[in-house]
Amino acid sequence: MKVKMLSRNPDSYVRETKLDLQRGHKAVLVRIWNLTKRKCIRMIQAHEGFVRGICTRFCGTSFFTVGDDKTVKQWKMDGPSYGEEEEPLHTILGKVILDMRTNTICWNPMEAFIFTAANEDYNLYTFDMRALDTPVMIHMDHVSAVLDVDYSPTGKDFVSASFDKSIRIFPVDRSRSREVYHTKRMQHVICVKWTSDSKYIMCGSDEMNIRLWKANASEKLGVLTSREKAATDYNQRLKEKFQHHPHIKRISRHRHLPKSIYSQIQEQRIMKEARRRKELNRIKHSKPGSVQRVSEKKKRVVAVVK
């Protein structure tokens, strides 16, 4: 059958006696190979269904697998001793089930318990893993499925890629994006990454191009003189001071959008208002206390399994 993924033991570059390679078979088996002997030394029936991913731990003592049974398992690199059964070291602590499929997640590099999930329902959900029953924040603005997400090294912003042919930059504590990037030629955006210097964003799209964007669209690149730095800092302070003034706020938030995205935003706004009005009418014309209002955050979570 097809070989779907490979993962090499990082410890093997310095230890010739440990040249191990993991291979996930498109069945239910994980095979561990010794490269020098060209011999399969172990076979593990890891999951109930296809094995979809393998990743080796940086120290080389264990590796992780993910499968169609919707579980992630950690396994020892060394085989079990005589008389022991092949069992994973760890499995899931718990899981949260949302309305629609989650395409990918990304952990906040500065806050160990916070992660953001990119979902098919056009939204992104930031969760605290210690309390999965309610998302910390719902990030809305996309008009199609969100396919990828990545955090900035500072942990204060993240970027998302969507099927609506755009990428958006969100502050972690805001539900709306602060920036949107799009071009006429760019098609469905499949993946996105934030560079380690926190200045650029890279994205890959369906028309086989990789694009490089500035993390701050108005930031001047290159070496700045002392007067330019002073002027930039002064202008930034003015923006922060008057950011809540109606005219300043309108100018800073305004973005030109493609006609297709703009029309879908207007359509979704009408649909959302209709749902809100229907819910209020149901509460108004029902027996007091018989219909409870449920917050938007609670509506998105179907179940939490411990």
pTM higher than 0.85 for the full model?
no
CATH of the domain at 106: 2.130.10.10
Band (pLDDT 50/70/90 cuts) for residue 13 is very low
Tell me the DSSP string of the chain: --EEEEEE-GGGGT-GGG-EEEEEESSSEEEEEETTTTEEEEEEE--SS-EEEEEE-TTSSEEEEEETTS-EEEEESSPPPTT-----SB--S-EEEESS-EEEEEE-SS-TTEEEEEETTS-EEEEETTBTTS-SEEE---SS-EEEEEE-TTSSEEEEEETTS-EEEEETT-SS-SEEE--SS---EEEEEE-TTSSEEEEEETTS-EEEEESSTTPPPS---HHHHHHHHHHHHHHHHTTTSHHHHHHHH-----HHHHHHHHHHHHHHHHHHHHHHHHHHTS-TTTS----HHHHHEEEEE-
pLDDT tens column, 177-218: 999 999 999 999 999 999 999 999 999 999 999 999 999 988
Residue 271 counted as domain residue: no
Residue 294 counted as domain residue: no
Look at 16-20, 35-39, 113-117, 244-248 and tell me which has the smallest mean pLDDT: 16-20
> What's the pLDDT score for residue 16?
41
What's the number of CA atoms in the CB half-sphere (13 Å) around residue 42? 18
Question: Are 70 and 136 contained in the same domain?
Answer: no
> What's the pLDDT score for residue 302?
86
Answer with the residue of higher pLDDT: 257 or 85. Answer: 257
Question: Are 145 and 195 contained in the same domain?
Answer: yes
Question: Are 18 and 106 contained in the same domain?
Answer: no
Residue 135: C-alpha distances to residues 98, 118, 138 (Å): 10, 13, 7
pLDDT tens column, 131-153: 888 999 999 999 999 999 999 99
Is 8 a residue whose pLDDT tops 80? no
> What's the pLDDT score for residue 6?
56
Band (pLDDT 50/70/90 cuts) for residue 15 is very low
Mean of pLDDT values over 49-60: 79
Distance CA(51)–CA(71), nearest Å, equals: 10
Question: Which range marks the domain in which residue 164 is found?
Answer: 95-220
Structure-token pair, residue 26: 């498109």
Band (pLDDT 50/70/90 cuts) for residue 61 is confident
Look at 75-89, 103-117, 176-190 and tell me which has the smallest mean pLDDT: 75-89
> What's the pLDDT score for residue 7?
58
> What's the pLDDT score for residue 130?
86
Domain boundary among 220, 250, 269: 220
Domain boundary among 220, 252, 273: 220
> What's the pLDDT score for residue 245?
92
Residue with tokens 């930059």: 169
Is 159 a residue whose pLDDT tops 50? yes
> What's the pLDDT score for residue 42?
83
> What's the pLDDT score for residue 1?
55
Question: Are 205 and 120 contained in the same domain?
Answer: yes
Question: Are 122 and 67 contained in the same domain?
Answer: no
Is 20 a residue whose pLDDT tops 80? no
Burial of 130 (0-12, 13-18, 19+ CB in 10 A): exposed
